[in-house]
Amino acid sequence: MTKLTIFVFLSILFSSSSYSWPNRTHIDDFLQCLTHKMKNSNSISQVIHTPKNSSYSDLFNSFFSDNQRINSNFKPSIIFTPTKESQIKAAIHCSKMHDLQIRIRSGGHDHEGLSYTSDTPFFIIDLRNLRSISIDTRKKTAWVQAGATIGELYYRIAERSKKLAFPAGVCPNVGVGGHFSGGGYGMLARKFGIAADNVIDAKLIDANGRIQDRESMGEDHFWAIRGGGGTSFGLIISYKIKLVDIPEKVTVFNVTRMLEQNATHLVYKWQHIADKVDDSLLLRLFLRSNISSPFKRGQRSIHAIFFTLFVGGVDELLREMQNIFPELELRKEDCVEMSWIESIIFFYIGYPKGTSPDVLLNWNTTTKKRLYFKLKSDYVQHPISIKGIEGIWKLYNKLGENAGAELQFSPYGGKLSEIAESETPFPHRAGNKFIIEYAAFWVKMENSKKSIEWSRKTYRYMGKYVSKSPRAAYFNYRDVDLGVNNINGNTSYEQARIWGVKYFKNNFDRLVKIKTKIDPTNFFRNEQSIPPLLS
Ligand SMILES: Cc1cc2nc3c(=O)[nH]c(=O)nc-3n(C[C@H](O)[C@H](O)[C@H](O)COP(=O)(O)OP(=O)(O)OC[C@H]3O[C@@H](n4cnc5c(N)ncnc54)[C@H](O)[C@@H]3O)c2cc1C
Ligand SMILES: *[C@@H]1O[C@H](CO)[C@@H](O)[C@H](O)[C@H]1NC(C)=O
Ligand SMILES: *[C@@H]1O[C@H](CO)[C@@H](O)[C@H](O)[C@H]1NC(C)=O
Ligand SMILES: *[C@@H]1O[C@H](CO)[C@@H](O)[C@H](O)[C@H]1NC(C)=O
Ligand SMILES: *[C@@H]1O[C@H](CO)[C@@H](O)[C@H](O)[C@H]1NC(C)=O
Ligand SMILES: *[C@@H]1O[C@H](CO)[C@@H](O)[C@H](O)[C@H]1NC(C)=O
Ligand SMILES: *[C@@H]1O[C@H](CO)[C@@H](O)[C@H](O)[C@H]1NC(C)=O
Ligand SMILES: *[C@@H]1O[C@H](CO)[C@@H](O)[C@H](O)[C@H]1NC(C)=O
């Protein structure tokens, strides 16, 4: 078990009373520095939130709305919500002067909470006020600031044009800053690649506090921030992206098959076709065991949910499905034609049918539903046998009380396979059939230990069916079980390589080289950032 996970456990056991604040003098010096540096800034009173401000606890609590499991030793000494680049530069300067670590937060969806927790004294630069989006429909490009959510981006694109779109993730509340820098897979990935494949320029603040764009940072640095992960290579202020052409109508469906409806064979067959079908078709598969079933041992119901976007009309889709996957018995009435922006609403489980796309602008509504979850990932290169699939069903029956699980099978192939492994740091290209995301979720803190153990047991079980040497994982599905850096001391290259090659394969070494060149003192860091080589 890793250090971080152990303390996640301890924190769960001892509850939030274990939080502490670091040495006051240290923080006061930092605060003084920041105030001094910003003395000419009129918004200063609105952007610095210390534990004495009532705004602090609202902000702090909002960080945990997505994953209750996350906890940490320290509370942030300051939550800083800059409105201008100059303020960020000031914070970076003072962070260096007074050795107070930074956590950068855009959308806050980091699976392990690394954007807002730390077991070392720290402050947060929260980019919620940097969320502007400007779209050029003629050039089919956009500049989007890191603090915007992908839902807002989608909304603004659709507002300007019904024939343009952008290929990024499904959950609308994910932030641009973390999502694009770590990859960005969504329903258009087989046709247009991941978000990072469609980034054409960027603006960031480097470890020396300088603002850089693609031209001034150079191609190596620009390469690193398109899949090499946020944090390691500077604070990203904005990305320039290339928009893609989309027809005015796309087609979607969501059909469910239970075990009694031959789900096992359908899942088996799906593996043979999902990465090979027309690029316009993305057939996602969710294997879900419901959370509210009666919890009789061995009695869990299993749903295989086929979740699909087709960039085209319903008739063409039905023809394609009849050709490649007749066993699913898809009917015309299962399919709905809609605009791309409506499909964003359709695919996000949080929105009931008929929800207006306007909801995509409500990024700051805190959810009342409190959930704990643990996620892991794997890549599959050869179909899992029927016996292997049946083993997964058996594992579902070993879930603890008040706990559920979902395995998401997301197909690769198409455009994803056409791009070379070294083109961006995101290396999961040709040869991968699909990615599995393992999600264990539960509703009560006391179920934590058992559910986390379940996710690890499932991961062990899957070992023989998935990619090997390295057993690859997707950086944006961050998992600290894969290994972590020693955040206060010096992380050796060998230590980081353990998790690094899983996320980045052969690109890890290039990332280390770039890091060594642009941030040799490891100023920008967290438990899974790329370490510089020590000279
Ligand atoms: C509910 C949910 C749904 C998801 N759906 C998808 C999906 O469909 N497809 C997919 O590919 N992924 C998905 N993810 C994973 C998601 O892409 C990653 O968690 C991503 O890193 C989140 O970005 P963020 O800005 O919201 O998170 P944050 O927690 O703010 O940031 C994530 C990491 O990036 C760093 N970072 C953030 N902003 C910056 C910046 N401006 N400059 C430098 N570093 C920065 C943070 O410090 C942190 O280390 C999902 C996650 C969740 C929780
Ligand atoms: C607190 O920090 C100050 C300044 O950084 C330092 O001089 C002092 O020794 C620290 N005190 C403790 C108890 O760590
Ligand atoms: C926090 O409190 C300080 C001191 O009372 C005040 O000057 C500042 O405006 C407050 N900040 C916010 C964001 O409310
Ligand atoms: C389930 O699917 C398999 C493979 O397509 C097929 O051979 C079998 O007859 C199906 N069983 C049922 C009950 O439909
Ligand atoms: C979960 O499965 C059980 C058993 O099949 C069923 O009775 C129940 O309605 C399901 N619950 C949900 C929320 O789907
Ligand atoms: C897809 O269908 C299943 C089963 O009917 C349902 O539980 C699920 O919520 C649907 N998904 C979405 C995103 O609507
Ligand atoms: C969300 O943002 C809107 C617009 O900025 C604001 O009016 C509203 O009060 C915010 N809601 C919350 C819960 O912060
Ligand atoms: C890290 O390594 C450098 C160079 O070898 C050394 O100067 C420094 O003291 C080390 N820091 C820690 C915390 O071990």
Residue of 490, 516, 521 to test ligand 8 pocket, by largest number of atoms within 8 Å of CB? 490
Question: What is the model's pLDDT at position 21?
Answer: 67
Name the residue at shortest CA distance from atom 3 of ligand 1. Answer: 171
Residue of 257, 286, 290 to test ligand 5 pocket, by largest number of atoms within 8 Å of CB? 290
User: How many whole angstroms from 365 Cα to the centroid of ligand 7?
Assistant: 7
Question: What is the model's pLDDT at position 337?
Answer: 97
Name the residue with tokens 């944090």.
231
Residues known to be catalytic: 477
For residue 433, the SS3 value is coil
User: How many whole angstroms from 68 Cα to the centroid of ligand 2?
Assistant: 33
Domain 250-339+361-465: top CATH class: alpha beta
Whole-angstrom distance, CA of residue 113 vs CA of residue 100: 18
Question: What is the model's pLDDT at position 70?
Answer: 77
Classify residue 444 as exposed, middle or buried by CB count within 10 Å of its CB (0-12, 13-18, 19+).
middle
Whole-angstrom distance, CA of residue 248 vs CA of residue 142: 20
Shortest-distance ligand to the CA of residue 263: 4
Residues 6 or more apart whose CB falls under 8 angstroms from that of 365 comprise none
Shortest-distance ligand to the CA of residue 236: 1
Classify residue 18 as exposed, middle or buried by CB count within 10 Å of its CB (0-12, 13-18, 19+).
middle
Please, what is the Cα angle at 362 between 344 and 289, to 5 degrees? 50
Contact at 8 Å (CB) between 233 and 221?
yes
The finding on whether 98 has its CB within 6 A of some atom of ligand 2 is no
User: How many whole angstroms from 386 Cα to the centroid of ligand 4?
Assistant: 12
Domain 3-126: top CATH class: alpha beta
Q: What are phi and psi of 192, to 5 degrees?
A: -125, 0
DSSP bridge pairs for 378: 436
Question: What is the model's pLDDT at position 291?
Answer: 56
User: How many whole angstroms from 397 Cα to the centroid of ligand 5?
Assistant: 14
| pTM metric for this prediction | 0.93
Contact at 8 Å (CB) between 357 and 344?
yes
Name the residue with tokens 């015309």.
332
Q: Where are the domains of the chain?
A: 3-126, 133-245, 250-339+361-465
Positive or negative, the CA dihedral 500, 503, 509, 512 is negative
DSSP sequence for 460-497: HHHGGGS--SS----TTS--GGG----SSSPPPHHHHH
- The number of C-alpha atoms within 13 Å of 185 and in the hemisphere containing its C-beta is 24
In the chain, the N- to C-terminal Cα span, in Å, equals: 30
Looking from the CA of residue 49, the nearest atom of ligand 3 is 13
Residue of 24, 25, 77 to test ligand 2 pocket, by largest number of atoms within 8 Å of CB? 25
pLDDT mean for each 10 residues of the chain (535 residues): 36 45 81 90 87 92 76 87 96 94 95 91 96 98 98 98 98 96 98 98 97 98 97 98 98 95 96 98 92 50 93 98 98 97 92 89 70 94 97 88 89 98 98 97 86 95 97 98 85 92 98 97 95 86
Whether domain 133-245 has CATH 3.30.465.10: the reply is: yes
Residues 6 or more apart whose CB falls under 8 angstroms from that of 248 comprise 162, 163, 339
User: How many whole angstroms from 177 Cα to the centroid of ligand 1?
Assistant: 7
The finding on whether 364 has its CB within 6 A of some atom of ligand 7 is yes
